[in-house]
């Protein structure tokens, strides 16, 4: 993951408060490697954007230090940090043409005309907008504006690019397309990217690592697959992907497996991720695609489920059922030709392995 072009960033015990009473960011420690694509993911108000603004220099840290390539930057004003930035609404200057927008960072750096023109053309070609240099931002579509914003953030070859929900204003299809394009640009250029979003799909698709924020704290910092497969706590499990929760108490803890007595009396086996003692309250987290309806083999857990509702989605069928007192229990059933037909009202067996059931802290 290391290369020499991208910058490294270190947050060292950073705290931020706006009013002197509440901490928006509580003791943030984060190392971002050279050339890494790191996403800060979290609900609004979780502190992720504040972290980004501190890194960009628009908000001072109340406590702690931020290092860029090993140098403390708390006292460096934003325009001297050399960080590229893409804003939520692109912030393209409406009174300048696309080319003038791209020329802006080069001009303030005093770059010669020939070189700057070459760079602008290269940047525009990179985002496939070579012919749009003379247009005004208002004459471009949302997706085109977004690309210009990306090109403008990259045209002066920064080592670090910050992106603040850059795809938030686009429709779904365009957003997905742009995710790949940004990812490709990152792979090609090797710059470090810190990306802020509240959209978990975006985070999972693009990132090398994802930092999940909640309540001013990083809940988990992991590569996307780890985040999804092995959430550290019930917030992360809940926030990333779809998730079924079964509340209960630990009755026995063994090596790599524990026994949980659910609130309706059902006994299930689970992976003790975040429980430590017998008697702890827990929330067992289960991904919908890891559950089998009427399994052929014999999984670690097998319970009755009453089908409440079925939604046909083509590649799979989404089944809502009542399991162990939870009637929001979702199961994704693969659309297989040979599968036995089921319908709403049926009571069927559902099963899953203990390793897929994560016994986490109690969900709030």
Partner 1 sequence: MSSSETMSVEEQLAAGQTEDGIVRAADGTPLKARLAKALRREKLRSFLMISPLLLFIVLSFLMPIGDMLLRSVENKIVQNTLPTVVQELERWDPASEELPDEATFAALATDLKIAVKERIHTRLGSRLNYEQSGFSGLFRSTGRAVRKMEEGPYKEQFIKADEDWGKLQTWVVLDSFKAPYTAGYFLNAVDAENTVDGVQMKAENERIYIQLFIRTMWMSLAITFMCLLLGYPVAYLLAHLPARTSNMLMILVLLPFWTSLLVRTSAWKVLLQGQGVINDLLVWVGFVDDADRLVLINNQTGTIIAMTHILLPFMILPLYSVMKTISPTYVRAAKSMGANDWTSFWKVYFPQSVPGIGAGAILVFILAIGYYITPALVGGTSGIFISNRIAFHISTSLNWGLAAALGAILLVLVLLLFYVYDKIVGIDNVKLG
Task: Report the run of H or E that residue 350 belongs to, with start and end.
Answer: strand 347-352
Position among 63, 80, 122, 339 found at the interface with partner 1 (CB under 8 A) = 80
Is 125 in contact with 69 (CB distance < 8 Å)? Answer: no
Among candidates 277, 262, 287, which has minimal Cα distance to 357? 287
The rounded distance, in Å, linking the Cα atoms of 336 and 348 is 17
Among candidates 288, 280, 281, 323, which has minimal Cα distance to 302? 323
Neighbours of 47 (CB within 10 A): 22
> Is residue 76 within the footprint of partner 1 (CB under 8 A)?
no
> Is residue 18 within the footprint of partner 1 (CB under 8 A)?
no
95/336 with CB nearer partner 1: 95
> Is residue 91 within the footprint of partner 1 (CB under 8 A)?
yes
> Is residue 168 within the footprint of partner 1 (CB under 8 A)?
no
- Range in contact with partner 1 (rule: CB under 8 A) among 33-41, 84-92, 260-268, 320-328: 84-92
- Range in contact with partner 1 (rule: CB under 8 A) among 76-84, 173-181, 281-289, 303-311: 76-84
Position among 156, 195, 228, 352 found at the interface with partner 1 (CB under 8 A) = 156
DSSP 16-77: EESSSSSEEEEEEEEEE-TT-EEEEE--TTSSHHHHHHHHHTSS--SEEEEEETTEE-TTS-
- Range in contact with partner 1 (rule: CB under 8 A) among 3-11, 91-99, 202-210, 274-282: 91-99
Position among 70, 95, 254, 314 found at the interface with partner 1 (CB under 8 A) = 95
Task: Report the run of H or E that residue 160 belongs to, with start and end.
Answer: strand 160-164
Among candidates 94, 97, 91, 40, which has minimal Cα distance to 220? 40
Pairs from 314-317 (Cβ < 8 Å, separation ≥ 24): none
The rounded distance, in Å, linking the Cα atoms of 49 and 24 is 10
> Is residue 355 within the footprint of partner 1 (CB under 8 A)?
no
33 three-class SS: coil
CB of 137 to partner 1, least distance (A): 11
DSSP 272-330: ESS--STT-EEEEEE-GGG-EES-SS--SEEEEEEEEEEEE-SSEEEEEEEETTEEEEE
> Is residue 67 within the footprint of partner 1 (CB under 8 A)?
no
77/314 with CB nearer partner 1: 77
CB of 31 to partner 1, least distance (A): 23
55/260 with CB nearer partner 1: 55
80/339 with CB nearer partner 1: 80
Measured CA to CA in angstroms, residue 301 lies from 15, 225, 288, 294, 328 at distances of: 44, 24, 14, 12, 19
112/256 with CB nearer partner 1: 112
Is 137 in contact with 148 (CB distance < 8 Å)? Answer: yes
Binding mask 31-60 for partner 1 (x = CB under 8 A): -------------------------xxx--
> Is residue 108 within the footprint of partner 1 (CB under 8 A)?
yes
Position among 15, 76, 104, 295 found at the interface with partner 1 (CB under 8 A) = 104
CB of 171 to partner 1, least distance (A): 22
The rounded distance, in Å, linking the Cα atoms of 190 and 48 is 23
Stated length of the chain: 364
Position among 20, 70, 94, 345 found at the interface with partner 1 (CB under 8 A) = 94
> Is residue 82 within the footprint of partner 1 (CB under 8 A)?
yes
81/209 with CB nearer partner 1: 81
106/273 with CB nearer partner 1: 106
Q: Which residues are near partner 1 by CB under 8 A?
A: 56-58, 77-85, 87-89, 91, 93-95, 104-105, 108-109, 152-153, 156, 162
């Amino acid at each position: 993951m290391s290369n020499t072009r991208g910058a490294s960033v270190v947050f060292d015990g950073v705290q931020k408060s706006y009013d002197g009473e509440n901490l928006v960011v509580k003791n943030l420690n984060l190392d971002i490697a050279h050339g890494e694509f790191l996403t800060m993911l979290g609900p609004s108000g979780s502190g992720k954007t504040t972290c980004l603004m501190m890194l960009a220099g628009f908000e001072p840290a109340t406590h702690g230090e931020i290092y860029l390539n090993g140098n403390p930057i708390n006292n460096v004003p934003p325009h001297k940090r050399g960080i590229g930035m893409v804003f939520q609404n692109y912030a393209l200057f409406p009174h300048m043409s696309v080319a003038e927008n791209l020329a802006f960072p080069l001009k303030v750096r005093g770059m010669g005309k020939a070189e700057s023109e070459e760079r602008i053309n290269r940047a525009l070609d990179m985002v496939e907008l070579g012919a749009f240099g003379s247009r005004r931002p208002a004459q471009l579509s949302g997706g085109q504006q977004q690309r210009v914003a990306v090109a403008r953030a990259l045209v002066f070859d920064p080592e670090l690019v910050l992106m603040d929900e850059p795809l938030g204003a686009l429709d779904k299809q365009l957003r997905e397309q742009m995710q790949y394009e940004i990812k490709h640009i990152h792979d090609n250029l090797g710059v470090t990217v810190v990306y802020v979003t509240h959209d978990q799909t975006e985070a999972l698709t693009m990132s090398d690592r994802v930092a999940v924020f909640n309540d001013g704290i990083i809940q988990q910092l992991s590569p996307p697959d780890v985040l999804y497969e092995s959430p550290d706590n019930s917030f992360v499990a809940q926030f990333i992907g779809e998730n079924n929760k079964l509340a209960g108490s630990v009755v026995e803890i063994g090596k790599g497996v524990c026994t949980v007595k659910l609130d309706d009396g059902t006994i299930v086996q689970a992976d003790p991720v975040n429980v430590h003692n017998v008697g702890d309250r827990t929330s067992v987290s289960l991904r919908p695609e890891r559950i089998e309806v009427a399994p052929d083999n014999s999984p670690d857990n097998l319970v009755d489920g009453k089908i409440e509702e079925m939604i046909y989605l083509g590649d799979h069928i989404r089944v809502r059922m009542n399991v162990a007192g939870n009637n929001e229990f979702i199961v994704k059933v693969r659309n297989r030709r040979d599968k036995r037909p089921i319908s709403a009202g049926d009571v069927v067996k559902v099963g899953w392995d203990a390793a897929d059931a994560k016994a986490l802290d109690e969900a709030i």
